[in-house]
Structure 1
Amino acid sequence: MSKTFSFAAVHFSVAFAVGYLMTGSVLVGGTLALVEPAINSIAYHLHEKAWRRIEARRAAAGGTLVAG
């Protein structure tokens, strides 16, 4: 769990830094640091859900899934 929190801290820091460096605004940087990781988490969930369906279809069809 500590690795997850560590990654979250890095993600928030990068999002803040990019927003701040691009605009010079602490408000924009802070907003990006909150909004972008939240939306990215939802996108990741949907991505994983789609891949599970693809893997299930391939397994049902007798195909193999190449990791990569």
Structure 2
Amino acid sequence: MSELEIQQSIIKAMNRMSLVQQIKLLEFVNSMLAAPVSKKPKGILKFSGVFDDTTAREFADSLKDCEQIDENEW
């Protein structure tokens, strides 16, 4: 969906809202714009670049071993 299509969709939805709903929507949008943007990555992204290529490859290979099930082991 393009930026223009998103804008048009928002306007269409807003036109179906009551005045009270439109005011609440405006307050919500303004609160989103006022919220500070976190510069720290969240979740797993904070580990991006921590491992060199060799270590990352070894880690990925070890995970592949975990995906295999040895049915005779049970």
Give the alignment's TM-score, normalised by structure 2. 0.34
Looking at both structures, which has the greater relative contact order when contacts are Cα pairs under 8 Å and sequence separation is at least 6? 1
Higher normalized helix content (fraction of residues):
1
TM-score by length of 1: 0.35
Larger Rg: 2
